[in-house]
Amino acid sequence: MLKDMTLGQYYPIDSPIHRLDPRTKFLMTFMYIVLIFLFKEFYQYGLLLLGLGIVVWLSKVPQRFILRGIKPILFILIFAFVMNLFLTPGEVIWSFWKLSITREGLRLALLMMFRLFLLIMGSSLMTLTTSPIELTYAMEVLFTPLKRLGFPVHEMSMMMGIALRFIPTLTKETDKIMKAQMARGADFESGNLLSRARALVPILVPLFLSSILRARELADAMEARCYHGGEGRTRYRELCYEKRDAFAMVIFLVFFGGILWLPRIIA
Amino acid sequence: MITCKNLSFSYDEEQDPAIDDVSFTIEKGSFVAVIGHNGSGKSTLARLINALYLPSQGDVLVAGMNTKDPDKLLSIRKTAGMVFQNPDNQLVATIVEEDIAFGPENLGIPREEIGERIEKVLSIVGMEEYRHRPPHMLSGGQKQRIAIAGILAMEPEIIIFDESTSMLDPSGRKEVLETIKTLHEKGITIVLITHFMEEVLQAERVLVMEQGKLVLDNTPAEIFTHMELLKSYDLKVPEIIELAMELKKAGRDIEFPVFTEEDLVRQLCP
């Protein structure tokens, strides 16, 4: 169950997508997420999926890695689909007892599912092809203007970087705790939702406890390595835009602009 | 290099002090082991040298700098690096080279130089081929060597190892001890805090801690002659040394120090 978390798991290989500047990828992903919600036609999503497919192919990340990101949100996906399907008013096309499906509902439910699917695919593709540290650097640079407003930009990106660094460590630990509890007869798979949620308590308590201890040790280790906030700090990994970034951005904008304008051209 | 003068430290006013009136000096380039069972104050001592804790009484001087002086904090931590117990909890970055860069980055070292330092320290700990790997895929011993590399990149004069081998398997422990030996040969002052008596044998000098007090301070060979005393501190004498002691007691003519099996074999069958 825990092995399925791809969000925030870097897939370390070399590919044209991996080599792009993280700021470029970050901006692209941001625009991509906004654009997903602007599209209204199914063929637009079709084209988007095609575009995403090409990027996935270029990134050399195995498809199953990207698709794995869906599993944890499968429930939300189905929930959103069902809610939209039954609760949208409009022209009824099928009804059963008190439930009825409308034409608008079906359309909205499918669109919502497409959007969520593409949203997760796109963002996991970014985290799979960008090392977390690069990502936090990119955020730190892009959010620097907020520093003037007193927003702790360096601290935020440091926290994010550390959180990402500890995902695999804590995942491994959770697995270990689960196995230890299972060996003592704990049951995580049967029963209703409530009893399953209750079964998680013996996992969460030791996990929280050990995370707090880890955090303390990490803070000591960071201080021992002269960490004193963002002031006077240099960066080993310097980000620099290259021609390929501009090239990728142009392709991206043309492609998305094209999809966005397509309905008007057709009309 | 490191001087503690009448050093005392307590976590809590009401409790007994964790460090109780300890004084000693560690020379530049020496290899000192600090032993003691759990709760003897040895880890507290390490944190006092690194200025993670400040003395309740007395002073700690690192290369002439008092740890109580807030302006010297970074220089002290840069001079006396520290490698901790749990390899997972001291690596901050998701890629080996970026983790090694963390210390130098904090010190404001220009990036070209950081690159050179990374290359240099990775070759010292023998991990060149792991430069671009994520640390969570390494073994315990390898992670600890990366942690050492991260400290080395700050170019310290002293490295304190706070039970850095206690969570490793035997092969990982061996890797780390080999690395420590290399560092000592390069002239770095080593403070090795441990509860494994076998590790003490490499050192030039041993400090034995008990209930916050410094109870013995001598060469390993000399320390092990106080076998009964060590046992009363819950410290286990290495088997080979115990055997040699028993043989001597039984009337065999054995000359100390005896640290390894070979040492003993050579004396028994010359």
**pLDDT higher than 60, residue B162:** yes
Q: What is the mean pLDDT of residues B145-159?
A: 94
Query: B95 and B188: one domain?
Result: yes
Query: B182 and B156: one domain?
Result: yes
**pLDDT higher than 90, residue B237:** no
Query: B30 and B85: one domain?
Result: yes
Instruction: Give the model confidence (pLDDT) of B165-220 as tens digits.
Output: 988 998 999 999 999 999 999 999 999 999 888 888 889 999 999 988 999 898 88
Q: What is the mean pLDDT of residues B60-67?
A: 92
Read off the pLDDT band of B55 (50, 70, 90).
Answer: very high
Read off the pLDDT band of A4 (50, 70, 90).
Answer: very low
Would you state the pLDDT for residue A144? 84
Torsion sign across C-alpha atoms B148, B150, B153, B155: negative
Chain A environment of B78 (Cβ under 8 Å): 226
Q: What is the mean pLDDT of residues B103-112?
A: 92
Would you state the pLDDT for residue B149? 95
3-state secondary structure chain B: CEEEEEEEECCCCCCCCCEEEEEEEECCCCEEEEECCCCCCHHHHHHHHCCCCCCCEEEEEECCEECCCHHHHHHHHHHEEEECCCHHHHCCCCCHHHHHHHHHHHCCCCHHHHHHHHHHHHHHCCCHHHCCCCHHHCCHHHHHHHHHHHHHCCCCCEEEEECCCCCCCHHHHHHHHHHHHHHHHCCCEEEEEECCHHHHCCCCEEEEEECCEEEEEECHHHHCCCHHHHHHCCCCCCHHHHHHHHHHHCCCCCCCCCCCHHHHHHHHCC
**pLDDT higher than 60, residue A143:** yes
Query: B47 and B142: one domain?
Result: yes
ipTM: 0.87
The answer to whether the Cβ–Cβ distance between A236 and B134 falls below 8 Å is no
Runs of H (alpha helix) within chain A: 16-19, 22-36, 42-59, 63-68, 74-87, 103-129, 132-143, 153-183, 193-199, 201-224, 243-266
Read off the pLDDT band of A15 (50, 70, 90).
Answer: confident
**pLDDT higher than 50, residue A223:** yes
Would you state the pLDDT for residue A5? 47
Instruction: Give the model confidence (pLDDT) of A75-94 as tens digits.
Output: 888 888 888 888 877 777 77
Instruction: Give the model confidence (pLDDT) of B12-23 as tens digits.
Output: 877 888 898 999
Contact B203, B171 (CB under 8 A): no
User: β-strand B80-83 against B65-66: which pairing, if any?
Assistant: unpaired
pTM of the model: 0.77
Quote the tokens at residue A22: 């993280």
Chain B environment of A224 (Cβ under 8 Å): 50, 52, 77, 81-82, 84
Would you state the pLDDT for residue A242? 83
In angstroms, the separation between the Cα of residue A139 and the nearest Cα of chain B is 16
Query: B244 and B221: one domain?
Result: no
Calculate what percentage of chain A has a pLDDT beyond 90: 10
Would you state the pLDDT for residue B59? 92
Query: B203 and B266: one domain?
Result: no
A236 vs B85, B91, B98: nearest CB: B98
Q: Which domain, by its residues, includes B97? A: 2-229
Residue of B nearest to A217 (CA): B89
Q: What is the mean pLDDT of residues B73-86?
A: 93
Read off the pLDDT band of A8 (50, 70, 90).
Answer: low
A132 vs B81, B94, B132: nearest CB: B94
> Computed over its alpha carbons, how large is the radius of gyration of chain B?
20
Q: What is the mean pLDDT of residues A214-227?
A: 93
In angstroms, the separation between the Cα of residue B242 and the nearest Cα of chain A is 36
**pLDDT higher than 80, residue A154:** yes
Chains A, B: CB contacts under 8 A, how many? Answer: 101
Amino acid found at B172: G
Would you state the pLDDT for residue A219? 93
Query: B220 and B253: one domain?
Result: no
Q: Is B265 on the interface with A (CB under 8 A)?
A: no
| Among A58-67, B174-183, B232-241, the range of highest mean pLDDT | B174-183
Quote the tokens at residue A43: 């063929």
Read off the pLDDT band of A7 (50, 70, 90).
Answer: very low
**pLDDT higher than 50, residue A3:** no
Q: What is the mean pLDDT of residues A87-114?
A: 82
The answer to whether the Cβ–Cβ distance between B88 and A169 falls below 8 Å is yes
Contact B121, B153 (CB under 8 A): yes
**pLDDT higher than 80, residue B118:** yes
Nearest in space to B136 (alpha carbons), one of A172, A153, A80:
A172
Query: B212 and B193: one domain?
Result: yes
Q: Is B88 on the interface with A (CB under 8 A)?
A: yes
Residue of A nearest to B73 (CA): A226
**pLDDT higher than 70, residue A6:** no
In angstroms, the separation between the Cα of residue B30 and the nearest Cα of chain A is 21
More confident residue, B127 or B221: B127
Q: What is the CATH number of the domain that holds B70?
A: 3.40.50.300
Query: B187 and B243: one domain?
Result: no
Backbone angles phi, psi at B158, to 5 degrees: -125, 140
With a CB cutoff of 8 Å and minimum separation 6, the contacts of A251 are none
The chain-wide mean pLDDT, for chain B, equals 89
The answer to whether the Cβ–Cβ distance between A221 and B81 falls below 8 Å is no
Q: What is the mean pLDDT of residues A172-187?
A: 87
Q: What is the mean pLDDT of residues B39-45?
A: 88
**Domain count along chain B:** 2
DSSP, collapsed to helix, strand or coil, labels residue A239 as: coil
Query: B162 and B120: one domain?
Result: yes
Query: B67 and B159: one domain?
Result: yes
Query: B129 and B253: one domain?
Result: no
Write the DSSP symbol of residue A56: H
